[in-house]
Amino acid sequence: MIRVRTGLGAAALAAITVLGVAALPNGAAVAGDTGLRGAARGTGVKIGTAVDMNALANDAAYKEAVAAEFNTVTPENVMKWSEVEPTQGTYNWGPADDLINFARRNGQAVRGHTLVWHSQLPSWINETDFTKAQLRDLLRRHIFAEAGHFKGKIWAWDVVNEPLNEDGTLRDTIWLRALGPGYIADAFRWAHQADPSAILFINDYNAEWLSPKTDAYYQLVKDLRHQGVPVQGFGMQGHLGIQYGLPGDVLENVRRFDALGVKTAFTEVDVRMILPTDQYRTQAQAEGFGLMLRACLLVKNCISYTVWGFTDKYNWVPGVFAGEGSATPMDEQLQPKPAYDTLRETFLLAR
């Protein structure tokens, strides 16, 4: 199903080349659309970024770019359980509230990240000090506390993050061991009760192409919705590495979730490479960013495309993958790379 759009629409999207984007007819550009936020206007897809709150507070150029380039923001860390409740019963909402207020001032929607995850838990959450029944109650209390605190202020929540293995089986986590497989359904029901207006997503990496993992997600989402569980969206993180090749079946994968009637989104997009970079790697990176955006624009229910940080100045990749980096659309001086141009021009072609 091709989304009906104004302007050039699907026909122009089909003209996008492998290593970039075809030129607009007669070199035409839309007045005032000088960045990603302006370019995305009218396409039906929001453009977002994950936000480093320290950079937002201390780097004026970074802050200006977040406001100018994006119409949604996602907290990198400040809404994770370890940050909001570092000590049991003592909450630290301040940094997340700061992001909410920043977004409100700049007309941006906020994507909440994340309510249930096996990682970045506070140190006091463990299977030694609590029974399974107590852990269930703690998870329920956490969801109601956090989703309740931000009720009406969050556009979409990543409710359950990374619950499956690569082979499609359930990941062995504290939540699976304590609550059993039903914890996923419980989490969505609790989140919906706490904030009925938020769009609720299940979210994972390596979820962009056809695979045993995405087959399992398709069946899981289908089964949960059949049971009346309010799973309203499927989030594909979009962490790619050009050294592994770029997937060719992203659109096919997105289309099948679109056919289920759920929202879809690319939620944490970056495309890393082995350093040093060169023109061939940066062009391949641009295609990685572009192929995921095109897949989003070419279906009915894909609602947002979020990069996991927009500048190499503040990026997680070098600290996790030795010898790799340059994963974002802007360099360390916040100058656009070919990937940035591909994103902007692809949005303009879809208007």
Instruction: State yes or no: is 76 an active-site residue.
Output: no
- Nearest partner of 236 among 247, 220, 250, 222, judged by Cα: 250
- Helices and strands, number each (H, E), in the chain: 14, 10
Task: Give the up-direction half-sphere exposure of residue 34: CA atoms within 13 A in the CB hemisphere.
Answer: 3
Alpha-carbon separation of residue 39 from 46, 151, 351 (angstroms): 10, 30, 8
User: At 55, is the secondary structure helix, strand, or coil?
Assistant: helix
Selected catalytic residue, list 162, 208, 287, 345: 162
* Whether 345 is catalytic: no
Alpha-carbon 343 to chain mean position:
16
Report DSSP letters for 93-134, one per residue: -HHHHHHHHHHHHTT-EEEEEEEE-SSS--TT--SSSS-HHH
Distances (CA, A) of 152 to 119, 146, 196, 245: 26, 12, 8, 41
Pick the catalytic residue: 69, 208, 268, 345? 268
Question: Which residues are catalytic, by number?
Answer: 162, 268
